[in-house]
Amino acid sequence: MASTVEHSVEIDAPVSVVFAYVDDHEHTRDWVYGLHEIRPVTAQTHGVGATYDGVMKLGVTLTSRIRCTAWVQGRLLEIESVSGVHNTQRWTFTDLGDGRTRLEALISYTLPGGPAGHAIAAAVKPLIGLAVRHTSEALVRRIEAL
């Protein structure tokens, strides 16, 4: 079963700062709720083709290999899974003027089917709202503290 989460947040920092922070995998564990590990598997760590192995812990452990499929400096990051739990993340950045940025996230994911998939969904679904809220708050707090 596919699920989609959309979220938007305004950050008191210029687009260039917000984009650079989100685009740097070294920071990701600091703000993504439940992210246990993110490890590059390619020498390239930015832009289309950069590939990572990730482990999320949201009541259960979820693993994926993800690859950047779209990247426009200061405007767009898109990541899709190539193995593991199917997911797509699309991050868009909008300059609001006066050094402020709107960051919009569209995240879709598909959990496995069958009894195991239903058990995973039962463990993960209650945490999604908490994860989105915590991730958003942590990202704003960390970027505005730079």
CATH number, position 140: 3.30.530.20
| Strands laid side by side in the 100-110 sheet | 2-11, 100-110, 86-97, 76-84, 61-72, 51-57, 35-40
Radius of gyration of the chain (CA): 15
Confidence of residue 31 (pLDDT cuts 50, 70, 90): very high
Mean pLDDT to the nearest integer, 43-60 = 94
Mean pLDDT to the nearest integer, 102-109 = 93
Confidence of residue 1 (pLDDT cuts 50, 70, 90): low
Domain count, the chain: 1
Position 120 pLDDT exceeds 80: no
Domain carrying residue 132: 2-144
Pick the more confident residue, 107 or 101: 101
